Copies of this chain bind each other. A is one copy, B any other.
Amino acid sequence: MTTAPLHDRPLRADARRNREAIITAAREIVAEEGAEAQIQDVARKAGVGVGTVYRHFPTKDALMGELMAACMRENAQIARDAARIADPWEAFAAVVRNGCESMAADAAKRRMWQVASDEAFAHAQDAKREMTEETLAVVRRAHAARVLRADFTGDDMPGLMCGLGAVIDQPGMSDWRRLVEFALDGVRART
């Protein structure tokens, strides 16, 4: 179920180091290979044997779930940071722009959906909730200030970001920032 130690004995030093290396490697492999990502490659890149990967994560889905959770926590942090911007529209725009910047900078963040089985998703449930809440706060503030179209709801955010992720992941798409601005224009309240 969880990937933490079963009760509470602290991990041995080498184990802790390996666990980190595995997650990092998994992220790189997913970035490179997308849906074709293989445990064997993750192990090689982390400099450990496959057995070690399985010692830390009971299944591939559990590992991918951990990856998704990490990405979602990062997104939550992006939203938290944006929430500190005074102007409500700029705060909302920052969530979108910085979310896109992070997807552009890290292919794993836009490709993780390709490896997302239901199992993997379940592992990332909590992180997803966190992300949703932080994002929703920014959307609510933008609505209250009437700078975001009233008919764009918080539920639309995942769709918007996934759509932009697909745009950014487009082969040969270098100028995605322009399209992001079009999208922002599209959802901004008409003055």
Chain A: residues with CB nearer than 8 A to chain B? 35, 114, 149, 151-152, 155-156, 158-160, 162-167, 170, 172-173, 176, 178-179, 182-187
Contacts and interface: CB of A to CB of B under 8 A. Distances in A.
A184 B170 CA distance: 19
* Number of identical protomers: 2
A91 to B, nearest CB: 19
A117 B145 CA distance: 46
Contact of A166 (B35, B155, B165, B182): B165
A162 B158 contact: no
A160 B166 CA distance: 9
A173 B167 CA distance: 19
10 contacts: A35-B35, A155-B172, A156-B178, A158-B170, A159-B166, A159-B170, A159-B173, A162-B166, A166-B166, A182-B187
Nearest to A117: B36
Nearest to A176: B159
Contact of A163 (B164, B178, B187): B164
A173 B153 CA distance: 12
B178 A167 contact: no
A173 B162 CA distance: 12
B152 A163 contact: no
B149 A159 contact: no
